[in-house]
């Protein structure tokens, strides 16, 4: 037993702290469902590749962690961005931790968190279901524009378009309260997120996340991931506030939004 | 199943160390205040974002305090083979973890061990809540 833990630990080191999610023991898991994942990507009625499935997304608590492939070598901070990064600990002491308040994690922390995500896809929509806080995010792909004068929000508003067989998702109208990752790299309300999804075969999506945020970074930067289909995992309810003793008992303060992110 | 769970505990423990900059952890608990608690389980709150296990702990003078210790996320624990009743009221456990910063009898559980050496739950604060 002990030896197995040691072996497991060594394996983890070799993997560079990739996703810690175990996948194989959930009830209903089917070995057959995961077989032959190298066959061609499934197609939507319109002939485009479907991104549908439960995906074993990459756990990425720090986008600059070189142990995790696809990382960003160096974040090109503006002066404002650098100050935001360096003051994150003191900001949380005074303004509270938004995730500790069970507020939405936003796109990148939902994508790169420890909990699974599912994509539902048809001709006109791609829907991301995040187990983290039982959140959803709908991406219209029917050619509609962004909604005029929509108030900003945690996940912002997204639209999708096809570039050949790659789905390109643009997201704007962010409230600027979310951080890029667990460790707290900053972003502002001026950020634009560009994601690409390319289903290279039945079992694999190549995903990119690009942040363009001139208030925080002097140039756009991109994180690249490979997601593996995870048919044995079923998303479960995540009612974040039901047992949030950290907030109930005052160890985490009620969140006060920053007032300088526009 | 058990081997997988043990592997996962190894993973979770290492992750907790590697992600020492986890901000929810740092806001609540003090990595410089390790604590080892042995006591009888009085309640298990199986809920999000983390499970909590409560236990009566007797100090050197015989005084009993009820400690609450934060564990992992319930869905992740479930997928790793643990169940809501894997730990029962009355079980004696030893918890190794870190005290909370607020002075209450609270801790973040790094390891929960039964008298026969088997480990239960754990995996706390190893990532986003």
CB A186 within 8 A of CB A206: no
- The closest CB to that of A182, out of B12, B100, B127, belongs to B127
- Interchain contact B126–A (C-beta under 8 A): yes
Q: What is the pLDDT of residues B21-66, one digit of tens each?
A: 345 677 789 999 999 999 999 999 999 999 999 999 999 999 999 9
Q: What is the pLDDT of residues A28-87, one digit of tens each?
A: 334 444 457 789 999 999 999 999 999 998 899 999 999 999 999 999 999 999 999 999
Q: Is the pLDDT of residue B4 over 60?
A: no
- The closest CB to that of A239, out of B21, B48, B102, belongs to B48
Q: Which residue has the higher pLDDT, A223 or B119?
A: A223
Q: How many CA atoms lie within 13 A of A237 on its CB side?
A: 5
- Interchain contact B57–A (C-beta under 8 A): no
- To the nearest whole Å, the CA of A48 is away from the closest chain B CA by 33
- To the nearest whole Å, the CA of B53 is away from the closest chain A CA by 12
CA distances from A21 to A36, B13, B112 (A): 22, 13, 19
Q: What mean pLDDT value characterizes chain B?
A: 79
Chain A residues touching residue B3 (CB < 8 angstroms): 1, 4
- The closest CB to that of A242, out of B48, B100, B101, belongs to B48
What pLDDT score does B26 carry?
A: 77
Q: What is the pLDDT of residues A158-201, one digit of tens each?
A: 999 999 999 999 999 999 999 999 999 999 999 999 999 999 99
For the residues B107-117, what does the mean pLDDT come to?
87
Inter-chain CB proximity B127 and A20 less than 8 Å: yes
Inter-chain CB proximity B21 and A62 less than 8 Å: yes
What pLDDT score does B22 carry?
A: 44
- The closest CB to that of A22, out of B51, B80, B101, belongs to B80
What pLDDT score does A57 carry?
A: 87
What pLDDT score does A38 carry?
A: 85
CA distances from A24 to A1, A205, B9, B58, B103 (A): 19, 20, 15, 40, 40
What pLDDT score does B3 carry?
A: 40
Inter-chain CB proximity B24 and A97 less than 8 Å: yes
Chain A residues touching residue B78 (CB < 8 angstroms): 26, 236
What pLDDT score does B124 carry?
A: 55
In sequence order, the 6+-apart residues with CB closer than 8 A to the CB of A27 are none
Q: Is the pLDDT of residue B20 over 60?
A: no
What pLDDT score does A75 carry?
A: 98
């Amino acid at each position: 037993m002990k030896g197995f833990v040691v072996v497991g630990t060594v394996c983890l080191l070799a993997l560079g702290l990739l996703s810690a999610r175990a996948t194989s023991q959930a009830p209903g898991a089917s070995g057959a469902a995961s077989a032959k994942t190298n066959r061609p990507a499934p197609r939507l009625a319109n002939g485009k590749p479907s991104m549908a499935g439960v995906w074993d997304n990459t756990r990425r608590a720090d986008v600059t962690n070189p142990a995790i492939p696809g990382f960003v070598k160096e974040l090109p901070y503006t002066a404002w961005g650098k100050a935001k990064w360096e003051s994150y600990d003191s900001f949380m002491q005074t303004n509270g931790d938004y995730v500790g308040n069970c507020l939405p994690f936003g796109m990148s922390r939902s994508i790169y968190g420890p909990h699974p995500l599912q994509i539902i896809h048809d001709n006109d929509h791609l829907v991301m279901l995040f187990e983290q806080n039982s959140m959803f995010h709908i991406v219209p792909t029917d050619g509609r524009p962004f909604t005029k004068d929509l108030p900003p929000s945690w996940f912002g508003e997204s639209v999708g378009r096809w570039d050949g067989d790659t789905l390109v998702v643009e997201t704007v109208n962010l409230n600027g309260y979310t951080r890029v990752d667990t460790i707290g790299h900053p972003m502002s309300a001026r950020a634009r997120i560009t994601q690409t999804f390319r289903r290279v075969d039945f079992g694999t999506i190549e995903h990119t996340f690009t942040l363009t945020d001139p208030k925080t970074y002097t140039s756009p930067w991109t994180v690249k991931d490979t997601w593996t289909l995870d048919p044995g995992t079923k998303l479960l309810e995540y009612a974040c506030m039901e047992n949030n003793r950290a907030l109930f008992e005052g160890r985490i303060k009620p969140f006060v939004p920053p007032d300088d992110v526009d | 199943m058990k081997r997988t769970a043990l592997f996962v505990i190894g993973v979770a423990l290492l992750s907790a160390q590697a992600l020492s900059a986890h901000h929810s952890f740092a806001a609540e608990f003090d990595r410089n205040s390790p604590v080892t608690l042995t006591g009888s389980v009085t309640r298990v709150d199986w809920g999000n974002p983390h499970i909590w296990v409560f236990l009566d702990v007797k100090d050197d003078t015989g005084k009993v305090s009820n400690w609450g210790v934060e564990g992992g996320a319930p869905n992740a624990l479930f997928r790793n083979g643990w169940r809501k009743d894997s730990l029962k009221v009355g079980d004696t456990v030893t918890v190794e973890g870190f005290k909370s910063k607020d002075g209450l009898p609270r801790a973040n559980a790094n390891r929960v061990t039964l008298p026969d050496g088997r480990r239960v739950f754990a995996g706390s604060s190893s990532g986003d809540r």
